[in-house]
């Protein structure tokens, strides 16, 4: 089963979910806002990809963090910040058959989810 992690009202998550529907792929959606951030998954993503990939540094949530917190960000700080502010996590994150994809790229997803 494909698991999509994200926030329901995120435009990129909407595009990704529409793409999955177009492909006829079933998936489970995990909404950070309603279900929280699964700590074990967050730890795995940070370990596998590094905080620089997992944390969305382009969004408003990042810009709203205190400058000192942004400047001193590391893996431990990213974990705490993401748990406190799920909107900091880059979206969507997809897990399927032991693979993890971060962000939506139709070509990458086509290859990984077939």
Q: How many CB atoms lie under 10 A from the CB of residue 34?
A: 10
Q: Which of 10, 13, 46, 81 is catalytic?
A: 10
- B/e letters for 76-108, b = 16+ CB within 10 Å, e = fewer, are eebbebbeebbbbbbbbbbbbeeebbbebeeee
Whole-angstrom Cα distance, residue 47 to residue 52?
11
Asked if 113 and 87 count as a contact pair (C-beta separation under 8 A), the reply is: no
Is 43 an active-site residue?
no
Q: Which amino acids are annotated catalytic?
A: 10
């Amino acid at each position: 089963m494909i698991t999509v992690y994200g926030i329901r009202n995120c435009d990129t998550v909407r595009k990704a979910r529409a793409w999955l529907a177009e492909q006829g792929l079933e998936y489970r959606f995990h909404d950070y806002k309603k279900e929280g951030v699964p700590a074990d998954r967050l730890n795995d993503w940070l370990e596998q990809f590094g905080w620089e990939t997992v944390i969305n540094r382009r969004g408003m949530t990042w810009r709203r963090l205190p400058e000192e917190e942004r400047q001193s960000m590391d893996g431990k700080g990213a974990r705490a910040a993401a748990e406190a502010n799920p909107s900091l996590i880059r979206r969507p994150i997809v897990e399927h058959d032991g693979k993890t994809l971060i962000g939506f790229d139709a070509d990458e997803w086509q290859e990984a989810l077939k």
